[in-house]
């Protein structure tokens, strides 16, 4: 994916904000801090951002489909509680968590697939 100039500019802003959050107004660790330690720290934060974005995307997709409301996105039929599940997935950069339902709507037969074993089949 190509990162647009606008998105890159926003990433720079967020990076500044996070550095200020971490190190105070100076926005950097003390002179002499090892590069490897700085790289480790920024890597962990980068991974955490990736996981937070992924969790939110997955949650929003599920919400678009009506999952957390406990209702079928197709016809509004309530989905039994045991078919609404918290999802936890070990992704490349860490854990992602969201909530969605799985199974099949009893009224309109719209399918909600368990997304962990079959991410390609998410669209119900
Ligand atoms: Zn339905």
Claim: this prediction has a pTM higher than 0.75:
no
- For residue 37, report the distance from its CA to the centre of ligand 1, in Å: 52
What does the pLDDT look like over 47-100, one tens digit per residue?
Answer: 999 999 999 998 888 777 766 667 787 888 887 655 667 778 888 888 888 877
| Whole-angstrom distance, CA of residue 55 vs CA of residue 49 | 10
In the structure, what pLDDT confidence band is assigned to residue 118 with cuts at 50, 70 and 90?
very low
- For residue 72, report the distance from its CA to the centre of ligand 1, in Å: 5
Report residues near ion ligand 1: CB below 5 Å.
Answer: 72, 74-75, 77, 105, 107-108, 110
- For residue 75, report the distance from its CA to the centre of ligand 1, in Å: 4
Q: What token pair was written down for 49?
A: 């951002």
Asked whether residue 122 carries a pLDDT value surpassing 60, the answer given is no
- For residue 42, report the distance from its CA to the centre of ligand 1, in Å: 45
Q: What is the pLDDT of residue 62?
A: 79
Q: What is the pLDDT of residue 117?
A: 47
Q: Which residues contact 111 (CB under 8 A, 6 or more apart)?
A: 103, 104, 105, 124
Lowest average pLDDT, out of 20-24, 102-106, 110-114, goes to 110-114
Asked whether residue 119 carries a pLDDT value surpassing 60, the answer given is no
Q: Which residues contact 12 (CB under 8 A, 6 or more apart)?
A: none
- For residue 23, report the distance from its CA to the centre of ligand 1, in Å: 51
Under DSSP, the state recorded for 30 is P
Average pLDDT on 34-55 reads 95
Lowest average pLDDT, out of 17-21, 27-31, 65-69, 79-83, goes to 79-83
Cα 12 from chain centre: 20
Q: Which DSSP string do the residues of 33-50 spell out, in sequence order? A: --HHHHHHHHHHHHHHHH
Nearest 5°: the CA angle 15, 94, 101 is 115
Q: What is the pLDDT of residue 113?
A: 58
- For residue 44, report the distance from its CA to the centre of ligand 1, in Å: 41
């Amino acid at each position: 994916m190509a990162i647009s100039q606008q998105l890159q500019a926003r990433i720079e802003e967020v990076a500044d904000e996070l550095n200020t959050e971490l190190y105070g107004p100076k926005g950097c660790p003390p002179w002499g801090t090892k590069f490897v330690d700085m790289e480790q720290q920024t890597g962990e934060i980068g991974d955490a951002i990736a996981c937070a974005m992924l969790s939110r995307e997955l949650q929003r997709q599920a919400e678009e489909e009506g999952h957390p409301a406990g209702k079928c996105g197709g016809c509004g039929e309530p989905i039994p509680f045991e078919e609404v599940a918290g999802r936890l997935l070990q992704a490349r950069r860490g854990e992602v968590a969201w909530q969605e339902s799985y199974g099949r709507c009893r009224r309109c037969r719209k399918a909600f697939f368990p997304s962990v074993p079959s991410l390609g089949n998410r669209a119900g």
